[in-house]
Amino acid sequence: MILQTLYQQCLKNNVTFYDEFQVVDLLMVNGAAAGVVAIELATGELHVFHAKAVIFATGGHGRIWEITSNAYAFTGDGPAVVMRRGLPLEDMEFFQFHPTGIYKLGILITEGVRGEGGVLLNGKGERFMEKYAPKVKDLASRDVTSRAIYMEIRDGNGVNGQNYVYLDVRPESVNKYAAIDGRKNLDGTPYTVTGEQILAKLPDIVDFCRVYLGVDPITQPMPIQPTAHYAMGGIPTNKYGEVIADEKNTAVPGLYAAGECACVSVHGANRLGTNSLLDLVVFGKHAGLRAAEFVKEAAFQPLPADPAEFARARFDRIRTADGKENAFDIAVTMKKVMFDDMGIFRSGKGMENALKVVRELQDRYKHVRPTDTGEVFNMELMNIWELGNLLDLAEVTTVSALARTESRGGHSREDYPDRDDKNWLKHSLAWAHEDGKIELKYKPVGITRFEPKVRTY
Amino acid sequence: MEVTIKVFRYNPEKDKKPSYKAYKLEAVETDRVLDLLEKVKGYQDGTLSFRRSCAHGICGSDAMRINGMNRLACKTLVRDVGAKITVEPILGLRVIKDLIVDMKPFFDNYKKVMPWFINNDPAPEKERYQSPEARLRYDDTTKCILCACCTTSCPSFWGSDEYLGPAAFVSAHRFIFDDRDQAAGERLEIVNEVMGVSRCHTVFNCTMACPREIQITKAIGELKSALMTGKLD
Ligand SMILES: Cc1cc2nc3c(=O)[nH]c(=O)nc-3n(C[C@H](O)[C@H](O)[C@H](O)COP(=O)(O)OP(=O)(O)OC[C@H]3O[C@@H](n4cnc5c(N)ncnc54)[C@H](O)[C@@H]3O)c2cc1C
Ligand code: SF4
Ligand code: SF4
Ligand code: FES
């Protein structure tokens, strides 16, 4: 609804859309934004947009992982492009795994299901969240619930020994556990639901299950597993949406970012449900307001002699590679190792393996060439370009995660299970240098009204 | 199981005429047709081109004709269509390349019905309240994802792409029956024009094609009766 309304209001206000133009480079001159380079998919032509201000709002990068709720378009183009231009990315190690994705497909089953009284059951039919969060049980936060599911599966308690558990929202189950929990309606009567009420409240979920699983959630439990969902990290910004260039919070004139591609860090290491939309409505507005103010005063930066050169060189390299390697294979391998070793639980050893594999894949990537040599809608070329972004982001994510020797929110280490505020209450900033090295720096966490506390559920 | 997927192919830079190409691959019953296309593209033929994004029936980008029916490739499973699958672009729009069509006429029609909220009273301090019953009045038509499955299955649209088409009617309905909106009259005039609802012969193709199961023909009927009676109820 937000997306529709935004689009419709833009139409009403005659906003110019460049549909199916994909941004592939950011132009920076004198340390300030000067525009972007975009490829027009319909013609393959590179276009230069000379601008006083640029706002990135390109979304997340969940396509790094094998099981994800994210669209194919979530390839982290914004962060990857910005990073290639020498700017840092913040808190990339913090990535959220949503506990309830449809088994194998990763399609999101909203936590509204548990809000309505749905419960998680393991292969033995046990309501296992009682063990992990005795007080709030199935309503524990996403990271806690995802880890619990992971541990159940690892301990052999998945359903039929497989990598999934059940999410059960059948009215008889909901009513049984609501009675056990003593859940009440607002007027004090015991909480109960009927099949019709479930259907009315969760129409999309019922539809997903029927279409993709052939399961009717009113009469059967749903097979689910955790799914890569949301990037807490991204392009660092301040609260005005201005992109910042270093650990001293120096703003880049004319450059803004908002939404999932940005890291204004209202979510810290761990976003709570529904807060992404709040984030992008609030900070998207502020980024827009700031940019509008900025362009009133600012002059255009001069364009370089050949503004599209950097982007063109990258595409030329792809088009003229020797073609020994298959992009799809590389993508599958990346997704698998990132899910296994850089997923819900991490360890030094696993992450080192992930880093090694990702770097090998980056080498193999240099040998990928599209078989499609055309200009018109060359989606193969674009997919390969996007894979380059995913690999680069997988690398910074892993390097940032390896350095952080503690567990916090979306970053859980088996070898460092505790949060370590003494050493790690800080944001990481990662720079990718031209020689291929990744440099990490840190900046303090701003603490205002609420002191960080130990979580107990 | 082995499936054969026969795909409409046309490369404007090389081909004089479109053709069909068949690919064989291993699949399971629960694979989406989109998964098959991705695999064909990844391992057999990188030149195959199509649009897609969300992969679960939400974004509306991968409408195509699958075994003769307009469907979303991501919402159609092998078990729904069997082991012999034919995939073609949706009809009535110019084919640009393979399964990619020119969506401009479709979106132009959408824009004609002023698909945006209009209320010229000063915005209240908080939100504009609406009763659950009033919200329910147009609930069905809020679900449209602009995939074009409906419009491109409509014989009247095949006849002329100037015909507003069911998707535009659905969007008009969404605002006309929203009691907070003030431009119902203007929108009704637009859908009443020559290329409007009068060209709808209630063939039901659109309703059958809608992946969101919107009762399109019913919505169009409500527009027609509002035009006749001058009343919105
Ligand atoms: C299935 C699902 C359910 C969710 N449910 C909730 C929820 O209930 N509540 C909540 O708060 N959050 C939810 N989230 C998270 C939230 O939806 C996302 O974080 C949010 O939509 C991100 O918005 P955005 O505007 O930053 O990016 P997006 O909405 O992803 O938009 C990015 C846009 O940028 C475009 N783009 C990308 N790259 C380029 C490029 N190179 N050039 C040009 N354009 C480009 C894309 O095409 C896209 O249109 C959910 C996420 C998913 C995946
Ligand atoms: S019912 Fe009307 S709009 Fe729908 S397909 Fe038939 S003629 Fe077209
Ligand atoms: S009404 Fe249905 S078929 Fe038509 S565009 Fe909307 S979602 Fe697609
Ligand atoms: S890919 Fe989004 S609707 Fe099919």
Pairing state between β A235-236 and A262-263: parallel
**Residue range A292-311: mean pLDDT, rounded:** 97
CA A246 – CA B112 distance, rounded (Å)? 47
Q: What is the pLDDT of residue B233?
A: 75
From the CA of A56, the nearest ligand is: 1
Inspect the interface and report whether the beta carbons of A328 and B43 lie closer than 8 Å: yes
Structure tokens at A341: 């070793």
Residue B150: per-residue pLDDT: 98
Mean local confidence (pLDDT), A264-280:
93
pLDDT of residue A188: 92
CB contact under 8 A, A71 and B117: no
Cα(B146) to centroid(ligand 3), Å? 5
Rg of chain B (C-alpha set): 20
Indicate if the pLDDT at residue A143 is higher than 90. Answer: yes
Structure tokens at A185: 């309606």
Q: SS in 3 state form for chain A?
A: CHHHHHHHHHHHCCCCCCCCEEEEEEEEECCEEEEEEEEECCCCEEEEEECCCEEECCCCCHHHCCCECCCCCCCCHHHHHHHHCCCCEECCCCEEEEEEEECCCCCECCCHHHHCCCEEECCCCCCCHHHHCCCCHHHCCHHHHHHHHHHHHHCCCCHHHCCCEEEECCHHHHHHHHHHHCCECCCCCECCCCHHHHHHHCHHHHHHHHHHHCCCCCCCCEEEEEEEEEECCEEEECCCCEEECCCCCCEEEEEEECCCCEECCCCCCCCCCCHHHHHHHHHHHHHHHHHHHHHHHCCCCCCCCCCCHHHHHHHHHHHCCCCCECHHHHHHHHHHHHHHHCCCCECHHHHHHHHHHHHHHHHHHCCECCCCCCCCCCHHHHHHHHHHHHHHHHHHHHHHHHHCCCCECCECECCCCCCCHHHHCEEEEEEECCCCCEEEEEEECCCCCCCCCCCCC
Q: What is the mean pLDDT of residues A145-160?
A: 96
Alpha-carbon distance A76 to A95, whole Å? 13
C-alpha distance from residue A32 to each of A22, A54, A250, A299, A303 (Å): 21, 10, 12, 11, 11
Residues with CB under 6 A from ligand 3: B 144-150, 166-167, 170, 209-210, 212, 214, 216
Q: Give pLDDT, residue A107.
A: 96
Output the pLDDT for position A273. 87
- CATH code that applies to domain A99-226: 3.90.700.10
pTM of the model: 0.96
CATH architecture of A22-94+232-457: 3-Layer(bba) Sandwich (3.50)
pLDDT confidence band for A39 (50 / 70 / 90): very high
Q: Indicate which ligand has the atom closest to the C-alpha of B165.
A: 2
Distance from CA of B38 to the nearest CA of A (A): 9
The CA distances from residue A332 to A60, A64, A75, A281, A339, in Å, are 19, 9, 14, 34, 11
Which pLDDT value is given to residue A1?
85
DSSP 3-state of B83:
coil
Ligand 4: which atom is nearest the Cα of residue B58? 3
Say which of A1, A5, A377 has its CB closest to residue B100: A377
> What are the φ and ψ backbone dihedral angles of A382, each rounded to 5 degrees?
-65, -40
The protein residue whose alpha carbon is closest to atom 38 in ligand 1 is A58
Q: Which of B13, B32, B117 sits opposite A374 (nearest CB)?
A: B13
Per-chain mean pLDDT for chain A: 96
Q: Does B59 touch chain A (CB under 8 A)?
A: yes
Task: Report the range of poorest mean pLDDT among A379-383, A453-457, B224-228.
Answer: A453-457
Mark the ranges of chain B whose per-residue pLDDT is less than 50: none
Give the model's pLDDT for residue A94. Answer: 98
pLDDT tens-digit profile of A326-353?
999 999 999 999 999 999 999 999 999 9
Indicate which residue's Cα is closest to atom 8 of ligand 3. Answer: B147
Percent of chain A with pLDDT over 70: 100
Q: Would residue A419 show up in a list of annotated catalytic residues for this protein?
A: no
Q: What's the mean pLDDT in A85-112? A: 96
Does the Cβ of A227 fall within 6 Å of ligand 1?
A: no
pLDDT of residue A257: 98
Q: Is A272 near ligand 1, meaning CB less than 6 Å away?
A: no
Whether A372 has its CB under 8 Å from any CB of chain B: the answer is yes
pLDDT of residue A126: 96
CB-ligand 2 contact for B205 (6 Å cutoff): yes
Residue B71's Cβ-count burial label (10 Å; 0-12, 13-18, 19+) is buried
Q: State the closest ligand 1 atom to the C-alpha of A271, by its place in the atom list counted from 1.
A: 11
Averaged pLDDT for residues A23-36: 97
Pocket test for ligand 1, best of A58, A65, A207 (most atoms within 8 A of CB): A58
**Which chain B residue shows the shortest CA-CA distance from A109?**
B56
Whether A448 shows a pLDDT value over 90: the answer reads no
The share of chain A scoring above pLDDT 90, in percent, equals 95
**B59: which chain A residues are within 8 Å (Cβ-Cβ)?**
71
A147 pLDDT higher than 80: yes
CB contact residues (below 8 A), chain B span 25-44, against chain A:
30, 32, 39, 41-43
Per-residue model confidence as pLDDT tens digits over A214-258: 999 999 999 999 999 999 999 999 999 999 999 999 999 999 999
Domain ranges of chain A: 22-94+232-457, 99-226
Instruction: Give me the catalytic one of A142, A170, A271, A290.
Output: A142
pLDDT single digits (tens) A312-323: 999 999 999 999
Q: Which domains does chain B have, with CATH numbers?
A: 2-101 (3.10.20.30), 104-229 (1.10.1060.10)
- Cβ within 8 Å of residue B30, ≥6 positions away: A212, A213, A214, B77, B78, B79
A436 has a pLDDT exceeding 80: yes
What is the predicted ipTM? 0.95
Asked if the Cβ–Cβ distance from A377 to B97 is below 8 Å, we say: yes
Which ligand is closest to the CA of B141, given by its number? 3
A16 at B interface, C-beta within 8 A: no
Which pLDDT score is estimated for A457?
80
